[in-house]
Amino acid sequence: MPGRHKERHRLESISWLRAAVLGANDGIVSTASLVTGVASAHTAHGSIVLTAMAGLVAGAMSMATGEYVSVSSQADTEKAVLAQEQAELDADFPREHRELTAIYVRRGLDFPLARQVAEKLMAHDALGAHARDELGISKVTRARPLQAALASACRFSVGATLPAMIAALAPESVLLPATTLSALVSLGILGGLAAKAGGAKVGPGVIRVVFWSALAMGVSAGVGALFGAVA
């Protein structure tokens, strides 16, 4: 018996990959910018480390909170829409059958087959069929606030750990260039991996993330140096 053929497409990994890269990038850029800004103000090494750790924790909690609120709103909307769809099924089942049939016809099925498919699916799980094919809601895409919040906090923390460790371990004399260089290198690697996994050109992806990250850290360093000079 021939083995089952399972196709793999790059688009399948785009969603989670994009979220992972963006979360890690945010952690690296935010924390590295904090470190470079405070270090440029000629702050004591202990205060720089404290700033990095505070930035890591605050950033992770902020990401988790924002994601939880956003996804919770999405979950509330999904519940309301599903409740409305269930009410419509209870009120006029034949009409909902015709509606689902029309959806399958628009997707290319002949009317008799579309009607039969709609009948079978609605007999098995009417709300599930309408949620998936009419509303675009499935078990895979359902909003999960706690899971999303935890994942967002973890992604940010992973990225923020690098500049925080550099701030803690690097000698004060080379802390600023070490933080900047390590951040830009890691961001370039992340950008390249994301581009390659998504089938895009690696060069533009690397240049884009490195340029904007360098700009963010440069502005932070400039502000730190300005206020440090004033102080």
Helix (H) or strand (E) holding 140: none
Burial 151-178 (b: 16+ CB within 10 A, else e): bbbbbbbebbbbbbbbbeebeeeebbeb
Whole-angstrom distance, CA of residue 70 vs CA of residue 64: 10
Q: Where are the domains of the chain?
A: 12-230
pLDDT string in tens for the chain (231-residue length): 444 445 444 444 455 666 777 788 899 999 999 999 999 998 899 999 999 999 999 999 999 999 899 989 988 998 899 999 999 999 999 999 999 999 999 998 899 999 999 999 999 989 988 988 888 887 766 778 888 889 899 999 999 999 999 999 999 889 999 999 999 999 998 888 877 777 778 888 889 888 998 999 999 999 988 887 544
Q: What is the pTM of this model?
A: 0.74
Tens digits of per-residue pLDDT, 25-36? 899 999 999 999
> Residues 6 or more apart from 158 whose CB is under 8 A from it?
23, 24, 27
Nearest alpha-carbon partner for 51 in 36, 34, 37? 34
Whole-angstrom distance, CA of residue 42 vs CA of residue 44: 7
Tens digits of per-residue pLDDT, 100-135? 999 999 998 899 999 999 999 999 989 988 988 888
- The maximal CA–CA distance of the chain, rounded, in angstroms, is 80
